[in-house]
Amino acid sequence: MITITAFKMVPPLAQGLVRDLRVRWALEEAGIPYDVRLISLEDKREPDYMQRQPFGQVPVLQDGDLTLFESGAIVLHVGEKSEALLPREPVARERAKAWVFAALNSIEIAVTDLAHIDFFFANEEWAKLRRPGAEEFLLFRLGDLSGWLGAKDYLEGDRFTAGDLMMVSVLRILRETDIVARFPNLAAYQARCEARPAFQRALEGQMAPFRAAA
CATH 3.40.30.10 fits 2-84+198-213, yes or no: yes
CA 153 to chain centre: 19
Neighbours of 86 (CB within 10 A): 24
Can you give the pLDDT at residue 23? 98
Tell me 56's DSSP state.
S
Question: What is the tens place of the pLDDT at every residue in 111-169?
Answer: 999 999 999 999 999 999 999 999 999 999 999 999 999 999 999 999 999 999 999 99
Same CATH fold, 90-196 and 2-84+198-213? no
CA–CA separation, 19 and 23 (whole Å): 7
If you average pLDDT over residues 74-85, what whole number do you get?
97
Return the CATH number of the domain spanning residue range 90-196. 1.20.1050.10
- The H or E element containing residue 197 is helix 197-213
Can you give the pLDDT at residue 123? 92
Question: What is the tens place of the pLDDT at every residue in 51-64?
Answer: 999 999 999 999 99
* pLDDT band at residue 214 under the 50/70/90 scheme: confident
CA–CA separation, 135 and 11 (whole Å): 25
CA–CA separation, 185 and 191 (whole Å): 10
- Residue 3's beta-bridge partner residues? 35, 62
Domain boundaries, given as residue ranges, for the chain: 2-84+198-213, 90-196
Question: What is the tens place of the pLDDT at every residue in 168-186?
Answer: 999 999 999 999 999 999 9
